[in-house]
Structure 1
Amino acid sequence: MRIDLHTHSTASDGTEPPSGVVESAARAGLDVVALTDHDTTSGWVEALAAGERLGVRVVPGMEVSCLVRGVSVHLLSYWQDPADAALGGMLDASRTSRRTRARRMVERLTADTGLRWDDVLEHVHGQATIGRPHIADALVAAGIVGDRDEAFATLLSGSSPYFVPHTAPDPLEAITLVRAAGGVPVLAHPAASKRGSCVGDAEVEAMVESGLAGLEVDHRDHSDAERRHLRDLARSLDLLVTGSSDYHGTGKRNLLGENTTDPEVLEQLHARAGAGGGAPASTGGEVRGA
């Protein structure tokens, strides 16, 4: 069984609609795929329907953007209740901050590049969470940079004069809310040093005390040495180990199924979800962020 627990659609910063991600997963020979868009569950209904049609098990999830001591932390959450008020309120605040931050960055870019806010909105689908990838796509379309990678390495990097920080919850708060909503939290690409600063082992240990269930170890942004360290850390803290692609369609070079999760780990994660395994296939109510 081939399982990929980290993908993105046009509900956030991927380039394929939720159903398209599931269709691509089927073509890639995946048996299970998780849809984990940034700070939103708006793609769940479409993805789950596509999974039923194609015979692919869809794990409803999300990637929560967090910050601790100025370091970006991404938390994968699976099977959380999409109608949970406390978690939904936190996500609403994060999406508002992202949109405000994106607009301010575009304002800084306009004078030097001519990029406009309307240019960015052309690359945002529906109620997608707006972020730097959408600005990157607009820069590519305008011929200012060659691709997303170049945009993030130059104009949109953290050291760029155009960069604007955004507010995000502390990961301990996010983990607590995810758990309270019946979800299972896994720390995404925790040692991806090529992306910038990473949290230390002590901070991961604090997350475990708040309810962290696993570490995403097998990820293309982790070196062999980083993977070995994370496996040792997971073993010492009794955490589950996952692997995934972090697929974004054509937005990144990541390929579906390039890293996978053991079937036994998936079932252990599911067993730790809230009553009934979190949100049912019908989503059990309103999908936050839709």
Structure 2
Amino acid sequence: MKIDLHAHSSASDGTQSAADLVAQAKAAGLGMVALTDHDTTAGWQEATDAAMTVGIRLVRGIEISCSRAHRSIHLLGYLPDPDDPRLAIELARARDSRVTRMDRMIQRMADDGIPVTVEEVRAQVAPGATLGRPHLADALVAKGVVATRDEAFRELLHDGSKYYVGHYAPDPVTAIRIVRSAGGVPVLAHPFAMRMAPVTDEMIEEFADAGLAGLEAHHRDHEPEEVERAVRLAGQHDLVVTGSSDYHGTGKLNRLGENTTKPREWARLLEQAHGVKVIEP
């Protein structure tokens, strides 16, 4: 069975609805797909209904944006209970912070004469979705300021841009503990993808001690030597090795199933979960 444990819908920064994502996963030959939108579970029900219709196993998950020492670190949480109070509060705090951050970024652009409004950005956001820079990028494309989402990030929205404003993000150890308390299983997403400030070996050891369950080793943004490093570290700290597409629809080049997780590795994660169940059609 082909398993892809990292994909996004329009409930965060993907370009397709949760239902369309699930249908595409089935068409791509996957036997199981995880929906892991940023800081939200808004797409879970739609994805569940679609999975039952098309006949594919669905792992309900999230991707929590974390921060440590000026590093952007992403944590995947599989099968947590969305009604867990600590998790619900943390996700709401992150989403609220993204709204105020967006207002500030738009104001910085306005001060420079870049014509985009809050209303135009919100028009790009699906109901209940987590607001993010990709929506600002799409608004800039719609206005003709840039030609593509990629160009928007490259020229205006990257982390080093003068228009960039950060948002609230918990420390990874805090996020790991929250996912665990909600019955979920935490896996570190693409740990070496941030070239300017990758996760260190010492951090991974600390995260493992805090309850981290796995490392996403096989990822488009990892070079072969980085995959080897992740696999080595996983072995040292008894962590599960995963592989995923990090699919975003047309927003990125990533394709469903381009990297996958071995069934035996998924089984190691599943035995640690006691939040919600895998959707079995």
Q: Indicate conservation of the 8 Å contact 1:22/1:47, yes or no.
A: yes
The amino acid of 1:8's aligned partner reads H
Structure 2 distance, partners of 1:271, 1:76, is 16
Contact 1:3–1:31 under 8 Å retained in 2: yes
Alignment partner, residue 181 of structure 1: 182
- Is 1:265 aligned to 2:265, yes or no? yes
Q: 2:56: which partner in 1?
A: 56
Matched residues in 1 for 2:102 and 2:219: separation?
Answer: 27
* Most deviating of 153-162 and 176-185: 153-162
The Cα of 1:61 is off from its aligned counterpart by 0.4
**Is the contact made by 2:78 and 2:186 (CA closer than 8 Å) also made in structure 1?**
yes
Tell me the secondary structure at the aligned position of residue 107 of structure 1.
helix
Which residue pairs with 2:250 in the alignment? Answer: 250
Please give the alpha-carbon distance, in whole angstroms, between the structure 2 residues aligned to 1:25 and 1:166.
Answer: 31
Counterpart in 1 of 2:133? 132
1:197 and 1:147 map into 2 onto residues whose CA distance is 26
Equivalent AA in structure 2 for residue 75 of structure 1: L
- The one-letter amino acid of 2:250's match is T
- Within 5 Å, give how 1:67-146 maps onto structure 2: 67-111=67-111, 112-146=113-147
Q: How many residues align?
A: 278
Instruction: Report whether the alignment pairs 1:159 with 2:160.
Output: yes
Deviates more, 1:102-111 or 1:34-43: 102-111
| Aligned equivalents of 2:103, 2:23: Cα separation in 1 | 33
Written as runs of structure 1 = structure 2, the 5 A alignment for 1:204-243 is: 204-243=204-243
Deviation at 1:49, TM superposition (A): 1.3
Q: Measure the CA separation in 1 of the matches of 2:52 and 2:95.
A: 29
Distance 2:176 2:271 in 1: 17
TM-aligned CA distance change 1:108 to 1:186, over 3 Å: same
Distance of 2:192 and 2:115 partners within structure 1: 36
Contact 2:66–2:72 at 8 Å: present in 1 too? yes
CA contact (8 A) 1:48 1:281 kept: no
Asked whether the 8 Å contact 2:244–2:257 carries over to 1, the reply is yes
**Corresponding residue SS for 1:217:** strand
1:191 offset after TM fit, Å? 0.5
Task: Give, in whole Å, the separation in 1 of the partners of 2:171 and 2:191.
Answer: 15
Provide closer, same or farther for how the CA distance between residues 229 and 262 of structure 1 changes in structure 2, counting only shifts above 3 A.
same
Name the structure 1 match of 2:276: 279
Q: Do the aligned partners of 2:72 and 2:194 also contact (CA within 8 Å) in 1?
A: no
Per-residue deviation, 1:146: 2.1
Instruction: Give distance in 2, aligned partners of 1:234 and 1:12.
Output: 29
The structural deviation recorded for 1:145 is 1.5
Query: 8 Å contact 2:59–2:278 — kept in the other structure?
Result: no
CA drift at 1:280: 3.6
Deviations 1:25-52 (A, max 9, x none): 0111111000000001111111111111
C-alpha distance in 2 between matches for 1:257 and 1:70: 31
Q: 2:129 and 2:278 mapped to 1: Cα distance?
A: 21
Ranges in structure 2 where 5+ consecutive residues have no aligned partner: none
For residue 124 of structure 1, report the CA deviation from its aligned partner.
0.3
TM-score, structure 2 length as denominator?
0.96
Percent of aligned positions that are identical: 51
Letter matched to residue 101 of structure 1? R
Contact 1:95 1:129 (C-alpha < 8 Å) held by counterparts = yes
Extract unaligned runs of 5+ from structure 1: 283-290
Residue 137 of structure 1 deviates from its aligned partner by 0.9
Q: CA deviation at 1:281?
A: 6.3
Equivalent position of 1:287 in the other structure: none
What are the Cα deviations for residues 213-266 of structure 1, in whole angstroms up to 9, with x where unaligned? 000000000001111111111111111000010001111111000100001111
Q: Is this contact kept in 2: 1:18–1:46, CA < 8 A?
A: yes
> Helix, strand or coil: the match of 2:110?
helix
Give the AA of the match of 1:201. D
> After TM superposition, where is structure 1 displaced by more than 4 Å over at least 4 residues in a row?
none
